[in-house]
Chain A
C-alpha cells in the first residue's frame, strides 16, 4: 500500500526504523481516502523496519505510457473479415 516516511530513528544495533503515513488496503472509495477538507486521510504507523518499505513504479510512469508511445491495432486480414461486419461503425458511449 502507498506510504510516505515521516520519521526515521537509528536503533542501538545500527539499523533504522521508520514511522510512515499509509493508506490501508481496501480504501477504494474516494470518500474514504479524501477528507472533507480535501486532503488525503493518511493513517499513521508505529516504528516499522526497513524491510516493510519498498518502491514500486508509479502507475502510468513507465515508458510504455509516454506521450507519443506507439499505439496501433493489428490488422484483421481481408480474406477472413466477415462481409456482414464490413462498414459497421459503432457508437461511442461518450
Chain B
C-alpha cells in the first residue's frame, strides 16, 4: 500500500458508504493527525482538498511543485553537483576511487554538500554470526563478527555514541589525507538544504523522532583547488592512528595469492564448460564463487519443453517486445530487454 493508493481507497470507501463531505474531511484530518511515523503517512496529502487532485493526477502532482525551483533560487540556496567527479583511481595507492575537481574552485567555495541521517549508536552496524543469506536462524548476539562497511563512511565524535551518515552523491568519494586536505566540513546555513539549526541546540533524543531531514553539511575549499586536483579531507587524528596501526599489523590470508574474483574468472572464461555439482565434489570452484542463473531464460526454457535454440530466440524476442514483460521489469525495461535479448541471441 502506498500513499496514492491509500488516498484512492479512502475516497472510494467514503463514496460507497455515502459519507457526507464534512465527515470525510474530518476523518481525513483525523487520520493525518495519528501519532504514527510511517513512510505512508509522511507521503499522504495533508489537506483534504488535495485528495481529488491526487486521485485525478497522482501523488506526484502534490509534491512536484515543491521540487521545482527557479534558477535564481538555485543560485542562492542550491548546491552544484558537478564541481567534482568520481575518478577510478585515487592518487593515494590502494585507496580505490577518489573525487576530483572538474574546474577551478576558489577558497571558501562550497565544493559539494550532503544531507545526513543519524543513528544513536553503532547498533545499526553490528553483524553478528548467523545465516545472513538464508536467514534460517536468528543471529547469535554473543558473537559479533564484524561491523558493516558503511561505518567507514559514517562520522562520529569521540564524546558521543551518535553517528552521522552522509547520503548525498559524491561526498563519500573524498579520501583522507591529513597533510594535503583541501576541504573541511561545516553546517549549511539555517534553512538551506533543509538544514535546521534548532537541531544543533537540542539533545539528540529530541531529534530522533523526526521524519524529515534537518542536517546538511557543506564541504568547503580550504584553498584554491585546481581542475583535476584530487579532493582530500582530514578524517581526524583517531582515524589516522587507527589506519597506521591497521597497515602495520595487517597480514593477508595465507591463500591470498590464489584468490581470483568471480568477475575476473567470468571475463576470462566466458564459454568455459561448467562442472556439475558431482564433479565439483572432486574439483570445486573457489569458495568465493556463487553460481547464478538468469531467471527469464530458465522460465522460458522450462515453459517450452523440447524448444530448439532458434525457437527459443524467436519466443524470447516476442516476449521481450510484449507489454507484459515491459511492465514486469519496470524502469529498467529497455535496458533489461536489450541486454537479455542480446544475451540469448548470442547463445
Contacts and interface: CB of A to CB of B under 8 A. Distances in A.
Interface in A42-74: 45-74
A94 B141 contact: yes
A87 to B, nearest CB: 6
Interface SS majority for chain B = mixed
A61 to B, nearest CB: 4
B163 interface: yes
B60 interface: no
Given A66-B253, A75-B236, A94-B141, A6 B276 contact: yes
Given A34-B134, A51-B343, A72-B243, A77 B185 contact: yes
B192 to A, nearest CB: 16
Interface residues of A, number: 66
Interface in B39-76: none
A84 B155 contact: no
Best-buried of A4, A73, A94 by chain B (most CB within 10 Å):
A73
A61 B262 CA distance: 10
A84 B202 contact: yes
Given A71-B152, A72-B152, A85-B157, A25 B295 contact: yes
Contacts of B154: 73-74
Contacts of A93: 123
Interface of A: 1-8, 16, 18, 20-22, 24-25, 30, 33-34, 45-78, 80-82, 84-94
Interface of B: 120-121, 123, 126, 132-136, 141, 145-147, 149, 151-164, 176, 184-187, 199-205, 233, 235-239, 242-243, 246, 250, 253, 259, 261-263, 265-266, 271, 273-277, 285, 287-295, 297-298, 301-302, 305, 309, 343-344, 346-347
14 contacts: A1-B292, A34-B134, A45-B302, A51-B297, A53-B274, A57-B289, A71-B146, A73-B155, A73-B156, A75-B237, A75-B239, A84-B203, A88-B161, A93-B123
